[in-house]
Amino acid sequence: MSSLRARWHRSIAEIPEHQWRALVGNDAIPFYRWSWLEALERSGSIIPDQGWQPLHLGIWRDDTPIAVAPLYLKGHSYGEFVFDQTFARLAGDLGLRYYPKLLGMSPVSPVLGYRFHIRAGEDEAALTAEMLRVIDLFCEQNSILSCNFLYVDPLWRPVAEAAGCAAWLNQQSLWSRGDDRSFDNYLQGFNANQRRNIKRERKAVAKAGLTVTPLTGEQLDLALLKRMHRFYEQHCARWGPWGSKYLEEGFFEALADVHRDQVVLFSAHRGDPRDPVAMSMCVQDGNQLWGRYWGSEEVIDCLHFEVCYYAPIEWALQRGIDSFDPGAGGSHKRRRGFVARPHVSLHRWYHPRMDGLIRAWLPKVNALMEEEIQAINAELPFKADQPTLAL
């Protein structure tokens, strides 16, 4: 490791795109591609003034990075969707300052897949341990209480745990295609009562005179993505101070330039699909679909279920996509084909007493989360395989 140098980067633009891509890979999910993260920064969505200071860690050999960790110095806990109020209260009880904290995730995107990106052929375990050593030193020198990696890639998790990270179990929703090949197959998996309910919900949208059309690729342009931003703003505004508006219009404009093939807009319209009454935005990579944002100009019964769940599931089935993560929150997802699945965040704390208290607490709370996931899935109105729960 003596020939390597660690560098902290206050912007992803400090690492050339081709070098980032060489580490992350051409098949990386969209949320960790250089263009996605750079658009968040350049648009003013993820910047220090918004409580997100990019602080990416690169390990360089000469003029070439051989490992990178997307990291942010956070002044709050918004936009994470892993709720750490328990940790913040404990810090307060101990007389410790909880913020700022160091965070690893794709900002405001609760999607599974965080890891350190390490060049093929390098020693992943050794480099992970070295990067964590650099992070520990940085946090201790700057009186930062914790480092947190959210929505961790299950394949990277054992490597990071072996280097001393503590695991905290949470849950997310996930639809899986299984043997289904059509929306009718999907419906047949439900009990009779819920099958009727889903048909009724879809008919309510049709009775309102609305058609839902998916738009992607060359069908997307700057005007449509800007319209999606306005829907996103309107939806956030309805929730007032709880609206959680993070993204600026420039981010949506950037998607029109570089991510048109990954973005799918589901337009609910009475005529031209380019003149929507409501719209949802999803992201896909050919294997997975992720639900992100939606908004509506009218209050229409069941429209949210149609544009955010049913139309995306139907689209995914038509294209052989294996899974659909609809986004954070919403117990109503369980009745519409989504199973509760575990996901893990990994943590490091730099105060001995806080570290000891949380590590003693985690096995108990993780066991309770396992029980909660199993209880939720036992009550589903459709057949589903129980997820693997391994700690």
User: 206 with 292, same domain?
Assistant: yes
Domain span at residue 195 reads 179-321
User: 192 with 303, same domain?
Assistant: yes
**What value does the mean pLDDT of the chain take?**
94
What's the domain count of the chain?
2
User: 160 with 275, same domain?
Assistant: no
Instruction: Name the token pair of 347.
Output: 């943590």
pLDDT in tens, 9-50: 999 999 999 999 999 998 899 999 999 999 999 999 999 999
User: 138 with 227, same domain?
Assistant: no
Do the domain assignments include residue 153?
A: yes
Burial class (CB in 10 A: 0-12, 13-18, 19+), 166: middle
> What pTM was estimated for this model as a whole?
0.95
Among the candidates 276, 291, 321, a domain finishes at: 321
User: Quick check: 321 pLDDT over 80?
Assistant: yes
Q: CATH no. for residue 232?
A: 3.40.630.30
pLDDT in tens, 43-89: 999 999 999 999 999 999 999 999 999 999 999 999 999 999 999 99
Q: In this predicted model, which residue has the larger pLDDT, 391 or 385?
A: 385
Measure the CA dihedral 6/9/13/14, to 10°: -50
User: 102 with 226, same domain?
Assistant: no
Do the domain assignments include residue 360?
A: yes
In percent, the amount of the chain with pLDDT more than 90 equals: 91
Do the domain assignments include residue 152?
A: yes
Do the domain assignments include residue 159?
A: yes
pLDDT value of residue 389? 45
Question: Mean of the pLDDT values across residues 152-169?
Answer: 98
User: Quick check: 387 pLDDT over 70?
Assistant: no
Alpha-carbon Rg of the chain, whole angstroms? 22
Question: Mean of the pLDDT values across residues 252-272?
Answer: 96
pLDDT value of residue 385? 63
pLDDT value of residue 26? 85
User: 302 with 356, same domain?
Assistant: no
Q: What type of residue is 191?
A: N
User: 164 with 75, same domain?
Assistant: yes
Run of H or E residues at 206: helix 192-207
Pairing of strands 101-104, 146-149: parallel
Whole-angstrom Cα distance, residue 260 to residue 183?
Answer: 25
User: 157 with 14, same domain?
Assistant: yes
User: 64 with 129, same domain?
Assistant: yes
User: Quick check: 386 pLDDT over 80?
Assistant: no
User: Quick check: 285 pLDDT over 60?
Assistant: yes
In percent, the amount of the chain with pLDDT more than 70 equals: 96
User: 211 with 316, same domain?
Assistant: yes
pLDDT in tens, 96-125: 999 999 999 999 999 999 999 999 999 999
Whole-angstrom Cα distance, residue 327 to residue 304?
Answer: 13
Q: How confident is the model at residue 388 (pLDDT cuts 50, 70, 90)?
A: low
Question: Mean of the pLDDT values across residues 330-353?
Answer: 93
User: 13 with 159, same domain?
Assistant: yes
How many residues in the chain? 391
Do the domain assignments include residue 327?
A: no
Contact 382, 190 (CB under 8 A): yes
pLDDT value of residue 390? 46
Do the domain assignments include residue 391?
A: no
Whole-angstrom Cα distance, residue 46 to residue 56?
Answer: 13
User: 221 with 122, same domain?
Assistant: no
